Chain A
Amino acid sequence: DVKVTQSSRYLVKRTGEKVFLECVQDMDHENMFWYRQDPGLGLRLIYFSYDVKMKEKGDIPEGYSVSREKKERFSLILESASTNQTSMYLCASSLTSGMQETQYFGPGTRLLVL
């Protein structure tokens, strides 16, 4: 079974702090994704990566950056956290770049920025 793990289930940070969210997958998947989920808005794609050191902006990249130094790990960075970044963050991975590929999700990180 594919396993996608996220470093924290719950996180509380202060405005202006730098925040790191880590995601690790154990099945050698090519692609990794970061989404945020907000009530009534569904899943919105922040960034994705199709290979090591490669990254592409999603629909809402502002205020975020990412890093993928190893194939299994994809980090989301909030350079200076703001209250409007309080949200549920979901990491996902998929095996290849085919449209048929299923995404496998981690359990999510609930981030509260005070």
Chain B
Amino acid sequence: AQKVTQAQTEISVVEKEDVTLDCVYETRDTTYYLFWYKQPPSGELVFLIRRNSFDEQNEISGRYSWNFQKSTSSFNFTITASQVVDSAVYFCALSPGGSYIPTFGRGTSLIVHP
């Protein structure tokens, strides 16, 4: 069975602070995909990034960066110089080999104060 744990239920920061959202996963598959989605107050989940299990290269996209470490089964997400518009619920998800049905974590609510 697959499992995704986002231990941080809610994080509150002040604008311009850096913040890291943790994601730890469990799977017996050697091939899988990991995802991050953002859910702003409007409600619609928006895809942010996808990473396959064979690609441990870290990724940076503007103020966003992702750190994938198979050794610790983690796929953490860092926002640098956070902004109020980053306030949202962030979900980490895992699609194991042979399945297109992702398992979602419970989400981390990020609140960025001005």
Residues of A within 8 A of B (CB): 9, 31, 33, 40-43, 45, 48, 58, 88, 90, 92, 94, 96-108, 110
Contact = CB atoms under 8 A, between A and B. Distances in A.
Given A97-B100, A99-B32, A101-B100, A42 B91 contact: yes
Contacts of B105: 42
B39 to A, nearest CB: 8
B98 interface: yes
Contact of A107 (B44, B91, B98): B44
Nearest to A38: B106
Interface string B11-51: 00000000000000000000111010100001111110010
Contacts, number: 59
A60 to B, nearest CB: 13
Nearest to A106: B44
A95 to B, nearest CB: 10
B73 to A, nearest CB: 17
B100 A98 contact: yes
A43 B93 CA distance: 10
A99 B96 contact: yes
A113 to B, nearest CB: 18
27 contacts: A31-B100, A33-B101, A41-B106, A42-B104, A42-B105, A43-B91, A43-B104, A43-B107, A88-B43, A96-B100, A99-B33, A99-B96, A99-B98, A99-B100, A100-B52, A101-B95, A102-B47, A102-B50, A103-B37, A103-B47, A103-B102, A105-B37, A105-B44, A105-B46, A107-B43, A108-B44, A110-B43
A45 B104 CA distance: 9
